[in-house]
Amino acid sequence: MVTGGCGFIGSNFIRYILQHYKPASVTNVDALTYAGNLANLDGVVEEHGERYAFFEADIANAGQMETLLHEEQFYAIINFAAESHVDRSINSPQNFIHTNVVGTSVLLNAARRHNLQRFIQVSTDEVYGSLGETGKFTEESPLHPNSPYSASKAGADLLALAFHHTFGQDVIVTRCSNNYGPYQFPEKLIPLMIIKALHDQPLPVYGDGLNVRDWIHVEDHCAALVAVLFKGKAGQVYNFGGDGEMVNLDVVRLILDKLGKPHSLISFVTDRLGHDRRYAIDSSFAKRELDWRPLHTAKEGIAATVDWYLNHRVWWETLLQRTERFD
């Protein structure tokens, strides 16, 4: 069972695991809020038939989750379902608490009652807070979330680990750096900059643009999660990064260069409230324990992502029209 499977990472994961590992079935549970898009999974039913099923539901609705887990026999839950945009969490933190904390609690309880063998809580490096100019986050780094979004994810992580320690439930928490790739919602940095550049519009860059992020291609993240599903140790946290630290300004310039657009389109705007300066992930534990490593370099992967958006204009143009009602 994959929750949030109509979102960016969840939909990529469903495609990845059905194609590469051919499980007996994958059930996608999604509430289809603003970032949930059924078009992210176009062609999956045609390709995989009855091995894929969709169930529209809110993970925070205990009755719906009970019904689903009573009717189906799942090996594992992989919880991608989350409100995930920092700016939106600043404007509406309550929505993030509902999905990210309450929803995770409901899922954990349901999984425990129905004896699922594994629960994977998909989280973020943002729970660690901000780094200085040196160092990287490890699985032992203290949590120091600085936004309502990251605080809600940190709370969900701790709750998941508490279910392992209290009830002996097979729970694993994964924390990943910034994902990019196909089907990413257009409000995120890379697709936002691609789309604005294609329209010759100003590209808004927060502050001085020198915030640093570690970028990982979504396919590398999916491969990491499959490794956790089959090889991970209960009660463990695993960090995944792309070994791709880049200054935000350099990411934007890379996109402009790929599209043949001038750097003069860059427009510096007032910095985000509580904007973390730098994230960097140490993936050495996951590489050693899971025999996993990222295959995409940031520069090559971002260039390929630009090509994907160029070749899928109908997908993002339709999505932008549809989501106007949510803004």
Is 291 designated active site?
A: no
Token pair 């995930």: residue: 84
Kindly name the residue from 125, 214, 220, 245 that is annotated as catalytic.
125
DSSP code per residue over 97-134: IIIIIIIHHHHHHHHHHTT-SEEEEEEEGGGG----SS
Distances (CA, A) of 275 to 150, 210, 245, 268, 290: 12, 11, 17, 14, 32
User: Whole-angstrom Cα distance, residue 263 to residue 240?
Assistant: 32
Is 317 designated active site?
A: no
Is 307 designated active site?
A: no
Kindly name the residue from 52, 149, 183, 309 that is annotated as catalytic.
149
> What is the CA angle 61-124-135, rounded to 5?
160
* Paired tokens of 181: 């790739």
Residues for the chain: how many in total? 327
Kindly name the residue from 126, 157, 243, 245 that is annotated as catalytic.
126
Residue 75's CB is within 10 A of a number of other CB atoms, namely 12
User: Whole-angstrom Cα distance, residue 184 to residue 168?
Assistant: 35
3-class DSSP assignment, residue 281 = strand
Nearest to 240 by CA among 253, 259, 223, 257: 223
User: Whole-angstrom Cα distance, residue 42 to residue 6?
Assistant: 10
| Residues assigned a catalytic role | 125-126, 149
